[in-house]
Amino acid sequence: MDVHLTINGEAWTLDVRAGELLLHALRRAGFYGVKHGCETGECGACAIILNHRLVNSCTMLAAQADGASIITIEGLAPDRPGARGWLDPIQQAFIDCGAIQCGYCTPAQILAAKALLRENSSPTEREVREALAGVICRCTGYVKPVQAVLRVAALLRGEPAPAFDETDDGTPALPFPSTGDLPEAEEPPAFTSSGAEPTPTAIRVDAPRLILAPPRPDTRVVNRPAIKVDAVKLAKGRPVFTDDLTLPGMLYGALLTSPQAHARIRTIDTAQARALPGVHAVLTYQDVPRVIYASGGQSYPNPPPYDQVSLDSKVRHVGDRVAAVAAESPEIAEEALGLIQVEYEPLPAVFDPLEAMQEGAPVIHDEPDAVGIHDAERNLVHDLHVAYGDVEQGLAEADLVVEREYRVHQVQQVHIEPHVCITWWDEDDRLVVRSSTQVPFHTRRMLAPLVQLPIRRIRVIKPRIGGGFGGKQEMVLEDLCAHLTLATGRPVRMEYTREQSFASARSRHPQILRYRVGANKDGTLTAVHLHIIADKGAYGPHGLTVQFVSGFRGLSTYRAPHLRFDCQVVYTNKPAPGAYRGYGAPQALFALESVMEETALALGFDPVEFKRRNWLREGDEITMAKAMGEGREGFQQFVRSSGLEQCVQQGAAIANWERRYDPNWRFDPARPHIRRGLGFAVAMHGSGIAGLDMGAASIKLNDDGSFNLTVGATDLGTGSDTILAQIAAEVLGVPTEDILVYSSDTDLTPFDKGAYASSTTYISGNAVFKAAQEVRQQIIQHAARHLFLDPDPQQMTLEGRQVWTHDGRSVPLDQVALHSLHQATQHQIMASASHMSYESPPPFSAQFAELEVDIQTGQVTVQRLVIAVDCGTAINPVTASGQVEGGVIQALGYTLCEEMAYDHAGRLLTTDLRSYRVFAADEVPEMPVILVQTYEPSGPYGAKAVGEIPKHGVAPAVASAIFHATGVRLRALPFTPERVWQRLQEAQIPGVSS
């Protein structure tokens, strides 16, 4: 049927089917800025403005839009001849404020702001938060988007930007962008027809309480805010994500998943499905080669076990792969799935790791060809034991031994862009894989044997990624999609539904953690023993290394002469956990910080003082580093930079920590059921995997003095392309916009292991630094020899797009470029470099939580989360603080309300964003961020990692605060109202049952 409507001011007629969703119709018409996120109206990524109101296009029919007027992101400041790239003031504000990370939800957020400001030109912060509340952002923690909307509202009212020049406590904020006296970029295109003049970018960013403690390196570009290199295209909603592409002849893949937790496929009949018109392929285990592999995107050789095949005759969890279909349309593919007849032979299933280890438990991996399972009969994937000293001796010598058990649960990454990829044969008979992946190079290597092609015949392209958080450090779709292209010869696109994103993708490993801590009355530690039982779900990816990180992190923050780690990693019939930002550390540090606080209190110590006595300081050895590498022996390491003490002091000041000691503060006379508490935790992480992770970069000089920087590093929304450009710009004496970054494509960019393990700034950043240094040398040498005729290049510098001699002569870079390319000793000034480090310098953090507990309902309301982070030099303080804010809010979800829950048959109950709760903009607490800068000698410009450290401290700090408020210690996450209420009941604290 025809639907007549107005889209972005133009009349459109769309031919739609009766049941077609407006979302699909709009994307089909080329409005790719409208995103698919959840299908149930919960995430808001598909938001449009319909007759002036913000609505989800995924929960209304296209037919219902007949006669309507729709605005999509493409309509805000449409690219026109002579005016490409002009921006709506809201888009400009999002860019200026650093409000864009992955950018997948950005169009929806900007439209939400547009709809709000049309009705309310002077919104309060609360009104802004409510307006953004229907658009879930998993990256930012909403701090900067809210700032952006407040800022643009003020600018549109004709006011100066509100209080952006100073932080709340008077510390000077950050000029934005701080390009010093470098020349201005090109003039923004003139555009006046709508009256929306593009605003200049040289304004100040609102960064309240983002404090950069000294030392600040003497730099022009690094350690200063810079606009994200991908910000404009993301703000404009341009088609930059994997699915924003339709190839001629493209088929739509769909995945049939198992309704059974554990079963053999007795028969599978695909005849009807194959016979359905429009179906081009139906693949089951009978149709694809049986090649065992491990799906985790990790360096060669992938850690064991190898316990997966693309399609199997046995299913091991509800949501496991059964069959894949390729058809002319998503609807036909879906219908074909329903026509596949599967007869299952159900097998007994087991969902609890303790039961799974028992004699007689169902054996989940009984296939003979699995490799590297420790004891398949007992479902024991790994049995790990690492000792430093003699823990039993240390415990025997202690004045006090504290033994505690903690439990952490399964949570999901919830990147708003689901797993998605498109595969096709190119004109050279090479398989192209366009995928939303954090690990394009690992994917190419891991995919090759599965599709039985040599690596050279595979090309993996990573476009922009709509968030990953570790979920996309995994090959969950690419092999199936590729098999469908192999079977049909056609381009095939596959995308997970939100339900599949929960039941058929990866998640965080649940663990039972048992600590034994030996301590003396003087507050020193004698021994720490950590025993973990980890739930591996049905398959093994990342099982070894996540648990190694748990053990390593769980035994590293504090000095003790005797340490031991024991761990059983156990299969169950649940969707397999894998990599999730923090990678084992959030689990361990919840337990570690809690047990250290409990030990301190048992000894009569103030927890902060007790921890301070024992935490690692500069110069200390990280003793477990040598014994515990990435699932193998590691390398000896020392702490060479630590701002932990400063983090604690700065954080305590902002958190008003002294209130903790005021007994009156804990009670509210007007609300007798409320108890207030303040809690505290510290954390330590690493920067990349020592002796393993490698990143490479390539830089070349162009005719006009700009540079191409190509990196294998995989910006998944973190801003890594930007900070890598800043590092190159700093070395080469140019503003960031002179660096043209491209990442990542296995044909075009050098190798990088990918975006994980907090490695990109430190590892890939050093690679860029080295490559830029080499290019710098080539520039100076060419200038010295041919342009200055000066034999002493040593004293030359690059600054302000010029090469300078010590006596003040200069030549612009474009002249060096033109001269070297066209006029003398013609050659391409270019260099490549790679970097690997035997060190993994630890970033540190101090986390403070302020909250209220309703002792009658168990509701915990976190009001303030103060975090101080030592990430070395912050290459870009705005993107760094954005990482911190987003990480803290993810961690708060982990702490309070996110939880994958199952029924008795192993069916996931939390399959949408209604039942699985992710924080929205109007639900988050205040979140001041402090960056305590140190100078890490091995990092680029002194930088360490920042991506994962913010995930660690929130859960233990909230547990600490609940204890402070109520005297009740919670040792199992998440702290849902009911769980808190039950613990309060058991403890019978006064007022609970009244």
Partner 1 sequence: MLPDYDSLAPATWAEALAALAAQPDVVPIAGGTNVVVGMRAGELRGRTLMDINRLPELHGIRVSDGHVVIGGGTTVAELLASPAITEHAYPLHQAAAAFANPLVRNRATIGGNLVDASPAADTYPPLLVLDAEVELVSLHGVRWLPLDQFVLGVNQTERRPEELLRSVRWPLAPERSAGLHHKLALRKGTACSVMSAAVRVDTDQLGRCTAARIALGAVAPRPIRAHEAEQSLVGESLTEVTIRRAAQLAGQACRPIDDVRSSAAYRRRVAEVVVRRLLTAVDLELKEGAQA
Q: From the CB of 434, what's the least distance to partner 1, in Å?
A: 21
Residue selected from 6, 8, 78, 133 as contacting partner 1 according to rule CB under 8 A = 133
Residue selected from 140, 910, 933, 966 as contacting partner 1 according to rule CB under 8 A = 910
Q: Are 631 and 639 in contact (CB under 8 A)?
A: no
Q: Determine, following the binding rule CB under 8 A, whether residue 127 of this chain makes contact with partner 1.
A: no
Q: From the CB of 130, what's the least distance to partner 1, in Å?
A: 6
CA angle 981, 984, 988 (to 5 degrees): 135
Q: From the CB of 335, what's the least distance to partner 1, in Å?
A: 6
Report the candidate in 879, 880, 848, 851 with the shortest Cα–Cα distance to residue 865. Answer: 848
Beta carbon nearer to partner 1, 335 or 392: 335
CA angle 987, 991, 994 (to 5 degrees): 110
Q: From the CB of 857, what's the least distance to partner 1, in Å?
A: 5
Residue selected from 94, 388, 590, 981 as contacting partner 1 according to rule CB under 8 A = 981
Q: Determine, following the binding rule CB under 8 A, whether residue 978 of this chain makes contact with partner 1.
A: yes
Task: Please enumerate in sequence order all residues whose Cβ is within 8 A of that of 340, keeping only pairs 6 or more positions apart, or say none.
Answer: 256, 268, 269, 270, 272, 273, 282, 284, 322, 323, 325
Residue selected from 37, 107, 123, 134 as contacting partner 1 according to rule CB under 8 A = 134
Q: Determine, following the binding rule CB under 8 A, whether residue 335 of this chain makes contact with partner 1.
A: yes
Q: Are 467 and 719 in contact (CB under 8 A)?
A: no
Q: Determine, following the binding rule CB under 8 A, whether residue 861 of this chain makes contact with partner 1.
A: no
Q: Determine, following the binding rule CB under 8 A, whether residue 47 of this chain makes contact with partner 1.
A: yes
Q: Determine, following the binding rule CB under 8 A, whether residue 888 of this chain makes contact with partner 1.
A: no
Six-digit token pair at 893? 């979800």
Q: From the CB of 545, what's the least distance to partner 1, in Å?
A: 31
**Residue 861 forms beta bridges with which residues?**
852
Beta carbon nearer to partner 1, 53 or 80: 53
**Distance of alpha carbon 489 from alpha carbon 493, whole angstroms:** 13
210: how many CB neighbours lie within 10 A of its CB?
25
Report the candidate in 898, 990, 59, 942 with the shortest Cα–Cα distance to residue 502. Answer: 898
Binding piece for partner 1, criterion CB under 8 A, among 215-223, 391-399, 597-605, 905-913? 905-913
Region of 655 (left: φ > 0; alpha: ψ -120 to 50; beta: rest) is: alpha
Beta carbon nearer to partner 1, 44 or 523: 44
Q: Determine, following the binding rule CB under 8 A, whether residue 510 of this chain makes contact with partner 1.
A: no
**Distance of alpha carbon 774 from alpha carbon 701, whole angstroms:** 12
Which 73-112 residues touch partner 1, going by CB under 8 A? 112
Residue selected from 59, 171, 656, 815 as contacting partner 1 according to rule CB under 8 A = 59
Binding piece for partner 1, criterion CB under 8 A, among 41-49, 224-232, 351-359, 712-720? 41-49
Q: From the CB of 576, what's the least distance to partner 1, in Å?
A: 21
CA angle 287, 293, 295 (to 5 degrees): 105
Report the candidate in 225, 86, 240, 84 with the shortest Cα–Cα distance to residue 715. Answer: 240
Q: Are 25 and 3 in contact (CB under 8 A)?
A: yes
**Distance of alpha carbon 742 from alpha carbon 748, whole angstroms:** 9
Q: Determine, following the binding rule CB under 8 A, whether residue 135 of this chain makes contact with partner 1.
A: yes
Q: Give the x-and-dash track for 16-35 against partner 1 (CB under 8 A).
A: -xxxxx--------------
**Distance of alpha carbon 105 from alpha carbon 34, whole angstroms:** 9
**Distance of alpha carbon 195 from alpha carbon 332, whole angstroms:** 47
Beta carbon nearer to partner 1, 393 or 915: 915
Residue selected from 171, 708, 815, 915 as contacting partner 1 according to rule CB under 8 A = 915
Report the candidate in 110, 91, 90 with the shortest Cα–Cα distance to residue 44. Answer: 110
**Distance of alpha carbon 962 from alpha carbon 954, whole angstroms:** 12
Q: Determine, following the binding rule CB under 8 A, whether residue 917 of this chain makes contact with partner 1.
A: yes
**Distance of alpha carbon 974 from alpha carbon 222, whole angstroms:** 39
Q: Determine, following the binding rule CB under 8 A, whether residue 769 of this chain makes contact with partner 1.
A: no
Q: Determine, following the binding rule CB under 8 A, whether residue 452 of this chain makes contact with partner 1.
A: no
User: Phi and psi of 701, rounded to 5°?
Assistant: -95, 135
Beta carbon nearer to partner 1, 114 or 464: 114
Residue selected from 713, 913, 954, 973 as contacting partner 1 according to rule CB under 8 A = 913
Q: Determine, following the binding rule CB under 8 A, whether residue 66 of this chain makes contact with partner 1.
A: yes
Q: What is the torsion angle, in degrees rounded to the nearest 10, for the CA atoms of residue 317, residue 322, residue 324 and residue 325?
A: -120
Residue selected from 922, 971, 972, 989 as contacting partner 1 according to rule CB under 8 A = 922
Which 238-277 residues touch partner 1, going by CB under 8 A? 254
Beta strands in 776-824 (DSSP E): 797-799, 802-804, 810-812
Binding piece for partner 1, criterion CB under 8 A, among 49-57, 91-99, 411-419, 585-593? 49-57
Region of 808 (left: φ > 0; alpha: ψ -120 to 50; beta: rest) is: left
**Residue 812 forms beta bridges with which residues?**
802
Count of residues engaged in binding partner 1, rule: CB under 8 A: 57
Residue selected from 54, 211, 682, 803 as contacting partner 1 according to rule CB under 8 A = 54
Q: From the CB of 928, what's the least distance to partner 1, in Å?
A: 22
Beta carbon nearer to partner 1, 130 or 790: 130
Q: Determine, following the binding rule CB under 8 A, whether residue 500 of this chain makes contact with partner 1.
A: no
Residue selected from 202, 271, 909, 987 as contacting partner 1 according to rule CB under 8 A = 909
Q: Determine, following the binding rule CB under 8 A, whether residue 131 of this chain makes contact with partner 1.
A: yes
Position 621, amino acid? E
Type and span of the H or E element at 929: strand 929-931
Beta carbon nearer to partner 1, 396 or 909: 909
Q: Determine, following the binding rule CB under 8 A, whether residue 63 of this chain makes contact with partner 1.
A: yes
Q: From the CB of 144, what's the least distance to partner 1, in Å?
A: 20
Q: What is the torsion angle, in degrees rounded to the nearest 10, for the CA atoms of residue 983, residue 988, residue 993 and residue 994?
A: -140
**Residue whose token pair is 């709506």:** 88
Residue selected from 29, 61, 905, 989 as contacting partner 1 according to rule CB under 8 A = 61
Binding piece for partner 1, criterion CB under 8 A, among 27-35, 39-47, 191-199, 288-296? 39-47
Q: From the CB of 19, what's the least distance to partner 1, in Å?
A: 4
Six-digit token pair at 537? 């779900």
Report the candidate in 389, 633, 680 with the shortest Cα–Cα distance to residue 529. Answer: 389
Q: Determine, following the binding rule CB under 8 A, whether residue 130 of this chain makes contact with partner 1.
A: yes
Q: Determine, following the binding rule CB under 8 A, whether residue 328 of this chain makes contact with partner 1.
A: no
Q: From the CB of 333, what's the least distance to partner 1, in Å?
A: 7
**Distance of alpha carbon 185 from alpha carbon 548, whole angstroms:** 48
Query: Three-state DSSP class for 698?
Result: strand
Distance (Å) of CA 628 to CA 386, 462, 548, 554, 948: 8, 32, 7, 12, 19
Binding piece for partner 1, criterion CB under 8 A, among 219-227, 420-428, 817-825, 896-904? 896-904
Binding piece for partner 1, criterion CB under 8 A, among 57-65, 286-294, 629-637, 760-768? 57-65
Binding piece for partner 1, criterion CB under 8 A, among 63-71, 538-546, 659-667, 796-804? 63-71
Residue selected from 856, 905, 971, 989 as contacting partner 1 according to rule CB under 8 A = 856
What is the dihedral sign for C-alpha 485, 488, 491, 493? Answer: negative
Q: Determine, following the binding rule CB under 8 A, whether residue 846 of this chain makes contact with partner 1.
A: no
Residue selected from 520, 823, 857, 863 as contacting partner 1 according to rule CB under 8 A = 857
Q: From the CB of 680, what's the least distance to partner 1, in Å?
A: 25
- Using CB under 8 A as the criterion, which residues of the chain lie in contact with partner 1 when the complex forms? 1, 17-21, 39-42, 44, 47, 53-56, 58-61, 63-64, 66, 112, 130-131, 133-135, 254, 330-331, 333-335, 856-859, 896-897, 901, 909-910, 913-915, 917, 919-920, 922-923, 976-978, 981-982
